[in-house]
Amino acid sequence: MATKKSPKKPVKAAPRKRARPSGNALRHITSINDLTDDEINKIFAAAARYLKELGHPSVKHRIGKSAKAASGKILATLFYEPSTRTRLSFESAALRLGGGTISSADPTTSSAAKGESLADTVRVVSSYADILVIRHPRDGAAKLAAEYASIPVVNGGDGAHEHPTQTLCDLFTLQREKKSLKNLNVVISGDLKGSRTIHSFVYALARFHANIMLMPGGMGMELPEHVDWRLRNEFHSHPQPKSDDQIAKKKNGIDVIYRTSDQPHQLALMPVKEEIDIFYLTRFQKERWAEGQRNDYLKVDKQFLGEDKYKHASVLHPLPRVGELDKDLDDTPRAAYFRQAAYGVPVRMALIAALLDLDKRTFLKKFDGGFDASDYPIHVQPRELGTVCHNKNCITHDEHDGPYTANKFYVVKKGGLRLRCFYCEADIENLVIGTKGGEIAYFENSSAAVKAGYSPQRAKAVE
């Protein structure tokens, strides 16, 4: 298991090391980026096999029979937020594989209501099950759970951070609807800021070379800055503009959206003339916004999608919908959202099988601690010493769970220096590096560094 407490002394950024798996090696999925492209393709091949071998006799996107591969295995679902599709499709997937399920779906009836920390709960549940799916309102909660669990942890949605298995369902749907994942024109619309499904999805789309066109559902609903930055700088996709230009232009009747491409620096702000393959929409994520913050929200109906460029577009939605997607579309062949929900079962069967080594064809490499070595060095420093994660919804700031986290960051050196929270993956910029003897620590400003007895240097100067 990974170190749980902040060490007494700041630790210097360690060079990247490949983990050498021991007998206890396992694998967690807290982000879509925990899976390689090859692994995603293998999972899809297994999902397609399940549909073929165990498919419903008359409805081809549905699983209709069960197997025995997971006989004797137990899947636990630990859900601290409402869910229908994710929890039930995971449970259905485990049962279809011949396994069993245990579920804690109501935080008011679990020990969380008594103030139990997530760290304690997952250590206990690790003795009751073979694989754990967690959903939590805090960003980064899945990573914390993975640090303490001794069984594979799958993120079923953590705050506004990520929802990697929804992305697997979304990508699988794309592949089924459009035959290939490559070079698709995909419009992503809705609450780009608060939708964890979108955050995982855009990383994956960029990795599979889709042209992503962003259409925020309302004012202030653009992608979070750090997601945008990663798309641009790590996935060689294009950022959408930070302003509300898109909405304003839409309102003025000029249909302009932004095209992303895997060719950096070739951003074109262009009228959308080309044909759209996929229109992906999410609801306004009211639970991620303060009361009364809702503004006008996109409404998608037959008229909206009546334009020529959408003629062949499949419409995807992770569901639930709450008024932004007209039900009159349901009977049109382009409405893919119920098929998308149905694919949740074969895709999650494939993921469970891969994580539990039930199918040698989708074997996932295992690592000590459950994760491959990061591309970036990790830095840990005592919370009381210097900077902490700026994301207020990060698990590190939770009253009960915060004390079980470390003040831990990836050190990202690309065009300047940024610290990326180990848990929620939000970035901090404009830091000051403090040095004392051979030690370094990161501070918000020079005076904080000096006060702590460190010599301050602007991060840029250290580059």
Active site residues: 85-86, 114, 135, 163
Helix axes 85-96, 164-178, angle to 10 degrees: 80
| 166 forms part of the interface with ligand NCD (CB under 6 A) | yes
Instruction: Report the Cα 304 to chain-centroid distance in Å.
Output: 29
Token pair 């899947």 is at which residue? 75
Q: Which is nearer to ligand NCD, 348 or 379 (CB)?
A: 348
Q: How far is CA 445 from CA 299, 329, 390, 452, 461, in A?
A: 44, 53, 14, 11, 14
Q: Which is nearer to ligand NCD, 90 or 454 (CB)?
A: 90
Asked whether position 418 contacts ligand NCD by CB under 6 A, the answer is no
61 is a site residue for ligand NCD (CB under 6 A):
no
Residue 454 CB-half CA count within 13 A = 23
How near is the Cβ of 281 to ligand NCD at its closest, in Å? 10
Question: Which residue of 173, 197, 237, 393 would you call a contact of ligand NCD, by CB under 6 A?
Answer: 197
Least gap, CB of 90 to ligand NCD (angstroms): 10
CB 155, min distance to ligand NCD, A: 11
Pick the binder of ligand NCD from 2, 48, 88, 319 (CB under 6 A).
Answer: 319
Q: Is 138 in the site for ligand NCD (CB under 6 A)?
A: no
Q: Where does this chain touch ligand NCD (CB under 6 A) — which range of 173-181, 232-240, 278-286, 364-372?
A: 278-286
3-class state of residue 173 by DSSP:
helix
The interface with ligand NCD within residues 284-313 (CB under 6 A) comprises 285
Closest to 259 measured CA to CA, from 272, 245, 275, 278:
272
Contact between 88 and ligand NCD per CB under 6 A: no
Secondary structure letter of residue 396 according to DSSP: G
> Smallest Cα–Cα separation from 83: which of 319, 327, 336, 422?
319
CB of 13 closer than 8 Å to CB of 378: yes
Residue nearest ligand NCD, Cβ-based: 318
Site for ligand NCD contains 193 (CB under 6 A): no
The three-point CA angle 84-88-89 to 5° equals 110
* Contact call for residue 173 and ligand NCD (CB under 6 A): no
Q: Does 340 bind ligand NCD (CB under 6 A)?
A: no
Among 152, 157, 218, 370, binds ligand NCD (CB under 6 A): 157
| Closer CB to ligand NCD, 85 or 259, in the complex | 85
Nearest distance, CB of residue 83 and ligand NCD, angstroms: 6
What is the C-alpha radius of gyration for the chain, rounded to an integer number of angstroms?
22
Report residue 412: phi and psi, to 5°.
-105, 115
Count H helices and E strands in the chain, helices first: 12, 17
The residues that touch ligand NCD, with contacts defined as CB under 6 A, are 85-86, 157, 163, 166, 196-197, 282-283, 285, 318-319
